[in-house]
Structure formats: structure tokens, C-alpha cells
Amino acid sequence: MIRLAYAFAECYLADAMHSLGEMTEYAAEACREDMDRFFQIFSISGYASRFEKGDPCVVSGLSGTELYGRIMEACGLKQPDTAPPLVRYHAGEYYWSGYILGYMQWLTGITFSGLFQRLRFSDFIRAYPALHTASEEKAADVLIECYHNRGMTTRLQAYRKRLGLSQKALSKAADVNLRTLQQYEVRDKNINHAAADKIISLAAALSCRPEDLLEM
């Protein structure tokens, strides 16, 4: 288990996780928000920093629906006209994603903005099937590992930069889709699972062996 610094007193943790779970579910399901965009809004609203400090008025004093409304209001954004609070008897993938995000932020002390510099909301959704029945500690460990891996340079990126090539230039030289190349470099796609012809083509353009591009 990786622990950097608890963000705030543990007595507020359960409320904080539940509030973020509700907020995330409401934003995603009732308001149909683009969640990566929404968490950027959350990060600049002023409410993220209050949440990170454990401000009781924010982590315990607001429901998820109220928190969503305050965030949008703080950023001068129009809220949906008809989006009543959700009532759920079984937490789903959106609630779980916000719930675990709250636990991760408390556990590591990393700001929400910092977490979403490397993680995407889709990372939480993809993790849900395998981890929603696991303990909070286990789920957080997996996602924190993903966070740290995103900060490490891939072999593909290292070879490309060594030759002074842009992503666009390498994409053209190797005849590999630019978006796919970018996903390999940030580990959104696992290059180890790429088709052999793609790896061979990239290696030829980078003057290295195909196996040099695989991640261990």
C-alpha cells in the first residue's frame, strides 16, 4: 500500500467518499456530463481544494447533488433544467468511481488536479468490473499504480525522443495511426498487445529491435 499523506482527518472519510460517489453518479447519469471535463471544472471551482483540506462544510455538509450544483455555480456554468436527485439502492460504476476517487485522494494527499493529470475517468470505469467487490485498499492500489506508471516514460517514447522525432513524424514513417501511437506512449493501449506488423514497422522507423519497444 502506497501512502504519501492523509489529506484530512479519517473521521470525515466515509462522508467524503459517499459525497463524491453521489456527485459523480449525478453528474454522469442525471446531467450527462463529459466526466473528464467535469473533473477539470471541479478542480478549478475552489471546491476541490476545500475538499482536499477536509472542509467539513464540503465533505460532510453537502450531498453529492448539492456539491455538483455549487461547483457549476462557482464556475458560472448553466445547470440542466430537469435533473432531479438520483435514488439508488445498488451503487453502480459511476458511484463507485467517485467513491474510490475520494479514497485515493485522502490516502495519497495528491490533489484532484494532480490525479487527473495522469488518470482519466475511463480508467475508473474500466477498473469497476474487476475491483468493485474488492476492498478500498486493493482498488486504490491498482489505480495508484496506474497513476505512477503514467508518469514513467515508455520505451517507445524514449526511442522516439532519442532520434528527435515528433509523434507525427514517427506515425508517418512507420505508417501507424497517430492516435494509436499516442495511446501507446501514455499506456492507454498496451504496446505488448499490438499486432506484430505494427511493432516491426515502429522498430524499423526507430532503428531498434521490435523487442526493444516492449514494456516489461
First to last CA, the chain: 22
Give the relative orientation of helices 136-150 and 121-131 as an angle to the nearest 10 degrees.
140
Residue-level pLDDT at 82 = 63
Average pLDDT, the chain: 90
Q: Apex CA 89: angle with CA 85 and CA 94, to 5°?
A: 65
Mind listing the pLDDT tens digit for each residue in 85-126? 776 656 799 999 999 999 999 999 999 999 998 899 999 999
- What percentage of the chain has pLDDT greater than the value 90? 77
Residue-level pLDDT at 1 = 46
Mind listing the pLDDT tens digit for each residue in 156-198? 999 999 999 999 999 999 999 999 999 899 888 889 999 999 9
DSSP state of 53: T
Candidates 153, 185, 154, 155; CA nearest to 167 is 185
Mind listing the pLDDT tens digit for each residue in 199-211? 999 999 999 999 9
Residue-level pLDDT at 7 = 76
Domain ranges of the chain: 10-150, 155-213
Residue-level pLDDT at 102 = 96
Residue-level pLDDT at 90 = 64
Evaluate whether 5 touches 108 at the Cβ level (below 8 Å): yes
Q: Residue 74 above 80 pLDDT? A: yes
Work out the average pLDDT over 16-43.
94
Q: Residue 81 above 80 pLDDT? A: no
Residues 6+ apart with CB under 8 A from 128: 93, 96, 97
Work out the average pLDDT over 20-38.
94
Q: What would be the CATH architecture of the domain defined by 155-213?
A: Orthogonal Bundle (1.10)
Evaluate whether 9 touches 39 at the Cβ level (below 8 Å): no
How confident is residue 72, by pLDDT bands cut at 50, 70 and 90?
very high
pTM for the model: 0.75
Q: Residue 213 above 90 pLDDT? A: yes
117: Cα separation from own chain's centroid = 8
